[in-house]
Structure 1
Amino acid sequence: MEAIGANMRVSSPKKMGLPARAFVTMLRLAPGGIQNRMWKWWYQKLAKANDDSDFRFMNYGFEDGNGPELEADDEANRMFIQLYSMNIRGVDLEGKQVLEVGSGRGGGASWIAKTHTPNKLTGVDFSAEAVGHCNRWYADQSNLEFIEGNAQDLPFENESFDVVYNVESSHCYGDMGAFVEQAYRVLKPGGMFCWTDLRDAKTMVTLPSLFESKGFEIVESADVAKEVIQALDEINEMKMKAIEEKVPQSVRKSFETFAGVKGTPVYEGFVSGSMAYHRHLMRKP
C-alpha cells in the first residue's frame, strides 16, 4: 500500500505513471503543510497540461439510475454532474449563499448555479490556474464566482454561507480536521454541509467521529462506491480517448491514474473494497 497524502491509500503504485509515482513518493514523506503546497503544485501542473474548455470536470462520476433531467448540452457530462447532484440531494439551494470548497474546473458549480438558483455560489480552489479558467469560462453567470483560497483557512467571515459542499477534493488536504473546522465556521447556524469523497477503507470509518467532534450533526450517510464504479465503467472509454487526444504524452499515464480509469490503483481499490467512497450530509446546529 502507498499513501497519497494523509488521507488516502492506494495499491499498485507502479501502475500510476512516472510523474504520479514520483509525486506520491515525495508526498508520503512530507508533513501536512508541505503536502498542501505539493498538491497545489500538482493540480497547477494538471491544469496547465490541459486548458481545454471542454474539460470542465475532475471527478469519478456517479450512476444510480436516478439522475436529474439535463439539458442536451450537459448530457456528455452526465456521470460527473450526477455526482454533484447526489451530494446535494435533499438540500434546498434556491436563494441561498452557497460555497463549493475545491471547485476545480468549475463544471459542477456552473451546473448547480444554473439549475438550483442560489443567490450566489462561490467556488474556492487552491489552483490559480483553475480559478483563472473558471472566471473566463463562466463569466456570463451572474450568480457564480471563483476565488483562490485554502480549504484549511477559508477567506470568509464567520457564518457567511447557508450551504457548504465539497466533492472529491478533501483527500488532498494535509489537515482534514482543519478543513472541517473551517466549513463549520463559515456556515450559518442551521446550515448544511454536503461532503462526498474517497479514502482507503480504514480511514473512511474514522470520518463520522471527526465530523461530529467538530460540531456537526450527521443527517444522512451512504456508501456510494458501487455507483461510482458503475460510472467509471460507463465512461472509461470516453476518458481514455479524451486523455489520448488532449493530454501530453509525458503526463498521460498520470492523468489516467487520477481519472480512475480501469486498471489503475484507485479503480482496482474500489473493486476490491480496499478503497471506499462515501457521502455524508451534515447540519450545523
Structure 2
Amino acid sequence: MHTSNVISAFRPSAHQIQRAGLGYSRPLENEELARIAPAIFAPDAHASRSDRYAYIPTLDLINGMRSEGFMPVKVTQAGCRTEDKKGYGKHLIRFRRHDQLEANEAREVIIVNSHDGSSGFHLMAGMFRLVCSNGLIVGQSDNEIRIRHSGDAVGQVIEGACRIVEDFDQVSAAIDGMKSINLSKEHQLAFGNAALALRFDDAENSGIKPAQIIRPRRIEDEKTDLWTTFNAVQENIIRGGLRGFKVDANNRHTRTKTREVKGIDQSVALNRGLWVLAEEMRKLAA
C-alpha cells in the first residue's frame, strides 16, 4: 500500500484518542520523594478546599502501598503558576513490586493525586522498559480507576492497584500481539505521522518529519515490530530533542527543536493517545 494511502487509512477518530528522575530500579526513600515532589508531604489540603473535601495524605497512600509490596520508584510534580499552591499541586508516582524492580519490561501501577483539588486519585497501568528507561502508560483508558477524596480512599486505592495488577494479563497479551507484527516502512511512517498530529496542533509545520519520530535512539531498537516502533515513537515524542526547520509567520525558515514533555497531564494524554494509535495500527497491519 502506498504511504499516502496508509496514512489516510490510519486515522483513528478523536473519540478513540480521547479514550484513550531518580533510581527507577530501586525504591525511593521519603527524603527523595520530598525533594522531588514536596506536595506528597502537604500537611493539609489547600485553603481553597471546602469542608466537604477530605484530606487524604499521599504519604499515607504510599505507606499503604509499601505494606502491600508496591514500592515507589519514580515521582514527578507538576509545575504551579500560583505560589501558594506549590506545596499542594498534582503529583505522579510510579509503583513497582519487588519482583519487578530489575525486570527488562517491568509492570507498574501509576497513581496521580493532588491536595489542591486539581486531581483526585487516578490509577493507571504502566510499563517500564529497561533498555531505554521508557516509562509508558499502557492499556485502555477503560481500565483506569478514579477515586474521590472521601471515606477510606487509601483502602480503595490499594484495592484498585491490585485490580490493575490482575488485569495486566490483558495488557501483556496486547503487547505480545504488537511484538508479533512487523511493520512495513509505510506503516511505520503512518504511525509516526499520526503521532506528530498528537503532539503538535500544526503537525505539518512543526518542522519535524515522521521519519524522525520513528527513528530509534539505540541499536537495540533497530527493529520493525510494532512494539519496538511504538517505544521509539514514545521516546522521541516525550523526551524531545528532535531538530528541524519550520516556516514562521514571515515565511522564513527557522530552526526548531522539540521540547521534553514534562507536564503530568500532557504526558498522560500523549501516552494514552499513543497506546490507542498502537492498538489501531495492530488492527490495520495484522
TM-score between both structures, scaled by the size of structure 1: 0.24
Q: If you compute each CA radius of gyration, which structure gives the higher value, 1 or 2?
A: 2
> Higher relative CO (CA 8 A, sep ≥ 6), structure 1 or 2?
1
TM-score between both structures, scaled by the size of structure 2: 0.24
